[in-house]
Structure 1
Amino acid sequence: MSAPRQILMIRHGQSAANLDQSIYDRIPDYRIPLTKDGRDQARAAGEKIRRQLDGQKVCVYVSPYLRAYQTLEALDLGDLVEQTMEEPRLREQDWANFQNPAEIADQKELRNAYGHFFYRFREGESGSDVYDRVSSFMETLYRHWARDDYAPNTLLVTHGLTMRLFCMRWFHWSVEYFESLNNPGNAEVRTLVARGGGYALDTAFEQWAPADPGTTVLDASSSTDPQ
């Protein structure tokens, strides 16, 4: 087949760090587990995904983070899964190794002022770095989709920022439009559905500021240029 019927993406369920960010200074980010509520969220999402698959097989790509694997486990997709592949390029944005919560809070303030796409965390990544690795992952997807025996559906078990950047790359959204979008909630699903020779996003990301996919830095700066 040339491309799947649908490309499903899910953000991991609620993690221990979503409740207590001080956990970052004693547990590596990739080892932070889901909470009980996070597992319940993922189980509920699994019911939705099974309905969407409608008995068809799916090929799964999962971030190597514990909370992503636990989310996939809780989805309980059973024999609908054709193959599961760990994909490090779907990991969370790297912020630091063991993180000092106060320092990260300061850097988040700087990121809010500078812009989420271009600001690079010390010892970590910028959003544009994640965009680059997501772009590389897409090249792998295209090669996999070229196989005759590929499943009719694709599922990415990943993180909120990574989901937004995947869609940004797929739909060629501008940086300014990306900056206007909020992350999906824990265990929320977004689906790219094959339609009319292309794909459409079933549910838009919520926006915190007005913008459209073609908004550029020229548009954003026009209201702040000196007169």
Structure 2
Amino acid sequence: MARPHRIVLVRHGESEGNADDSVYEREPDHALALTRTGVHQAETAGKELRALFGQERVSVYVSPYRRTHETLRAFDLAPDRVRVREEPRLREQDWGNWQDREDVRLQKAYRDAYGHFFYRFAQGESGADVYDRVGAFLESLFRSFEAPDHPPNVLIVTHGLTMRLFCMRWFHWSVAEFEALSNPGNGEIRVLELGADGKYTLDRPFTHWRDPEPYGVTG
């Protein structure tokens, strides 16, 4: 099995929805573009990624949303060294279709009180649903490592919640630990690096907005 040297997760740059949440009332979530700030964030991340990958090949998986595709293009990776696959299982958490801003703000308040992992948006998904499809994607990813010529790098261009849930699934974090984590900022990068012991470690932690609740299964 040709496991990659590193698996890199990147959150998309700032989108129109990040800048103005009223846009969800008139535009589909998946169709929202990057702002100028978002393009700059993606270009800055691209400089870091090009330095990280050097001349090595990269297997890229990108969420099907417009803002993630635009983020990937802004990275300006060498086309002869990347293999790009659109991966719907890496999409944003579904919140429904066109959204009423005040209703979404109310549901977000409910989610904060109920818990981000288990709270289900009325016409959408819970964090647990996203966890399940991230887990299904990981099974496909592991199978891809069986190819003897698999690139030494994997790049995943996705969304903040999906990044946290990917790491939760990979490192077997508890729900309580997940609930204590903040989203990475737009354009932020996390790297899972393969060590000499055959295990992956995260290059830097996610910010904690609180200490994990002292409950859950231990042992």
TM-score (norm 1): 0.93
1:217 CA displacement: 3.4
Deviations 1:111-137 (A, max 9, x none): 011000000001100000000000000
Q: Retained in 1: the 8 A contact 2:2–2:149?
A: no
Q: Secondary structure at the match of 2:103?
A: helix
AA partner of residue 89 (structure 1):
R
How many equivalent residue pairs? 217
Matched, 1:96 2:96: yes
Q: Indicate the residue corresponding to 2:216 in structure 1.
A: 217
Point out where structure 1 has 5 or more consecutive residues left out of the alignment. Answer: 220-227
| Alignment-derived partner of residue 67 in structure 2 | 67
How far does residue 54 in structure 1 lie from its aligned partner after superposition? 2.2
- Distance of 1:71 and 1:36 partners within structure 2: 11
Q: Which amino acid letter does the alignment assign opposite residue 40 of structure 2?
A: D
Separation in 1 of the partners of 2:151 and 2:186? 26
Task: Identify the residue that residue 197 of structure 1 maps to in structure 2.
Answer: 198
Decide whether the 8 Å contact of 1:175 with 1:216 is kept in 2: no
Q: CA separation in 1, counterparts of 2:80 and 2:158?
A: 19
Q: Is the 8 A contact 1:174 1:216 kept in 2?
A: no
How far did 1:23 drift?
Answer: 0.2
> Is contact 1:25-1:98 (8 Å) kept?
yes
Which stretch shifts more, 77-86 or 129-138?
A: 77-86
Are positions 1:37 and 2:34 aligned together? no
What is the aligned partner in structure 1 of residue 78 from structure 2? Answer: 78
Instruction: State the Cα RMSD in Å.
Output: 1.4
Task: Quote the residue 1:225 is aligned against.
Answer: none
Aligned to 2:13, what secondary structure does the other structure show?
Answer: coil
Amino acid corresponding to residue 183 of structure 1 in structure 2 = N
Contact 1:62 1:69 in 2 (8 A): yes
Unaligned runs of 5+ in 2: none
Q: Which residue of 1 aligns with 2:113?
A: 113
Q: How does 1:110-189 map to 2 (within 5 A)?
A: 110-189=110-189
The amino acid of 1:3's aligned partner reads R
Q: Distance in 2 between matches of 1:218 and 1:85?
A: 37
Distance 2:90 2:80 in 1: 21
1:6-57: CA deviations, max 9, x gaps? Answer: 0000000000111100000100000000001101110110010111112111
Partner SS state of residue 217, structure 1:
coil
Sequence identity percentage = 52
Distance 1:75 1:162 in 2: 20
Cα distance in 2 for partners of 1:57, 1:216 equals 43
In structure 2, distance between residues paired with 1:216 and 1:147: 41
Query: Structure 2 CA distance, aligned partners of 1:43 and 1:60?
Result: 17
Q: Distance in 2 between matches of 1:59 and 1:78?
A: 12
State the 1:149 CA deviation: 1.8
Superposed, 1:46-65 pairs within 5 Å as 46-65=46-65
CA separation in 2, counterparts of 1:117 and 1:124?
13
Query: CA shift at 1:80, angstroms?
Result: 5.7
Equivalent residue letter for 1:204 = P
Residues 98-156 of structure 1 deviation map (CA, whole Å, 9 limit, x = unaligned): 01111011101110110000000011000000000000000000111111121110000
